[in-house]
Amino acid sequence: MKQILSILFAVCTFSEVLSAVNLQEEEVGNGRYSIEGKVFPPEEQDLLPWQVDTRVHVNGGEYIGFVRDDGTFVIHNVPSGSYVVEILHPDYMYEPVRVEINSKGKFRARKVNYIQTSQVIQVPYPLRLKALTKYRYFQVREQWRLTDFLFNPMVIMMVLPLLFIMILPKMMNDPETKEDLKQISNLAKMSDMPEMSEMFTSLFSGGATAKASAAKAKQVKKRQ
């Protein structure tokens, strides 16, 4: 009996110490806690008070908090557990945060990760929540632009063959391009030149080697 009493006493003192430690967490009693944080408004905020439109939902509206003038919010009377805190604003996106309160009243805030639920990336508590971006709800109306029209695949499909059909034959008729083409073909011949010279040299050097070279050429051909 004495032992039990002493154990009880020890437990009592221990819990007292714990509650003393947790005083700063603002314990309300009956294991009810308060989630605290501050919401930072979007920078390009409008004149109307953004605090009215901003709501704090815990676990999808199980607990609801409201934002004060300075952006702070408190959600009272939350029992220990794991909660997703969302800041809802019609125009701005905030990242949700998971707040975990253990049975001793310790707080831990981390990023919400629904896929790897065990992954912990801590964020500071009391929460400090900043608007990420403005929601883009709308499609941007396409404006008629010449470049869009020209680079439209359909138009390209139509125009390019037209070019090939109409312009190429005309270019063929054009004397300048003819010369151009000739030059190009000359160039092509030029590229043949060294081979020809080789042929000549082989011709002059003698039949045997020529045969050998011919065989070589054949080999080359085969390789090709």
Partner 1 sequence: MGLLSIYFKPNFLGLLKCLNKLNWFIVFFSLINLSVCIYEDQIGKFDWRQTYVGRIKFSQFDTVSTAKKIIVATEENVLAALNLKTGQVVWRHVFESASTGNIQLLQITEKVVTVSGSNPYLVRGWNSATGVLQFEWSLTLQNDEQADFSEWWVQNDMLVHMLPVFGSHIEVTMYNLATGQNKGSTTKLPAVWSNDGCIVTAPYYTCIHGPMGNQQLFSLDVTSNTMHLISQPLSEYVTLSSYDGNLRPLDGNGILPAFTIDDKKIIMIKNSQFEMLKTDVVDPSASVAIVDVANGPAVLQTWIDDTQGFSMRANSVSTGAEVAELRTSDRELRLPDPEVSSAVCTKSAREQLVCRVLLTGGDDSVHLMQQGGRILWSREEALANVVAAEFVELPVSDLDAAIESEFDQKEAAKMYSSIWAAFSRRLQTQFQQLQTLVHSIQSGEVLEDDPPSALVRDYFGLHKIIVLVTDVGKIFGMDNLSGSILWQYYESSLDTENVLVYTRRTARHPPHDAYLTVVGKHEETGNGLIISLNPITGSLIGERVLQLDVQLLQVAVLHKADNEKLHALILLDKDENVQILPQSAAPLVENMFMYVAERNTARVQGYAIIYNGQTVEALRTWLVQLGGSAEAGHRIVAAAGKPGGERVHSPGRVLADRSVLYKYVNPNLVLFVTEGPDPLHKDVVVATCVDAASGAIIAAQAHRRARALPYVVHTEHYLAYLYYNDKHRRTEIATVELYEGKQRWSGAGAAFTSLWAERAAAVERLAYILPAAPAAAAVTHTERSLTDKHVLLALTSGAIVEVPWAYLEGRRGGGEEGAMLPAPAPEIMLAPEARLNYNRTLARPRQLYTAPAGLESTSLVLATGLDLFYTRVAPSKTFDLLKDDFDYYLITIVLAALIVATYSTKYFASRKMLKLAWK
CA 192 to chain centre: 54
Which residue's CB is nearer to partner 1, number 3 or number 30? 30
CB of 219 to partner 1, least distance (A): 28
CB of 137 to partner 1, least distance (A): 4
Helix (H, G, I), strand (E, B) or coil at 152: coil
CB of 78 to partner 1, least distance (A): 10
CA–CA separation, 73 vs 101, rounded Å? 17
CB of 139 to partner 1, least distance (A): 5
User: How many Cβ atoms from other residues are within 10 Å of residue 64's Cβ?
Assistant: 12
Helix (H, G, I), strand (E, B) or coil at 13: helix
Which residue's CB is nearer to partner 1, number 31 or number 207? 31
CB of 43 to partner 1, least distance (A): 18
Binding residues for partner 1, rule: CB under 8 A, are: 28-30, 32, 34, 49, 51-52, 55, 57, 59-64, 66-69, 74, 76-77, 82, 84, 86, 88, 90-91, 93, 112, 114-115, 117, 135-141, 153-154, 156-157, 160-161, 164, 168, 171, 177, 180-181, 184
Q: For the packed helices 175-205 and 207-223, what is the interaxial angle rounded to 10 degrees? A: 130
CB of 84 to partner 1, least distance (A): 8
Which residue's CB is nearer to partner 1, number 156 or number 215? 156
CA–CA separation, 50 vs 56, rounded Å? 13
Residue tagged 């605090």 (tokens): 51
Which residue's CB is nearer to partner 1, number 141 or number 223? 141
Which residue's CB is nearer to partner 1, number 117 or number 147? 117
Helix (H, G, I), strand (E, B) or coil at 8: helix
Which residue's CB is nearer to partner 1, number 52 or number 208? 52
| 2-25 CB burial, b ≥16 within 10 A, e <16 | eeeeeeeeeeeeeeeeeeeeeeeb
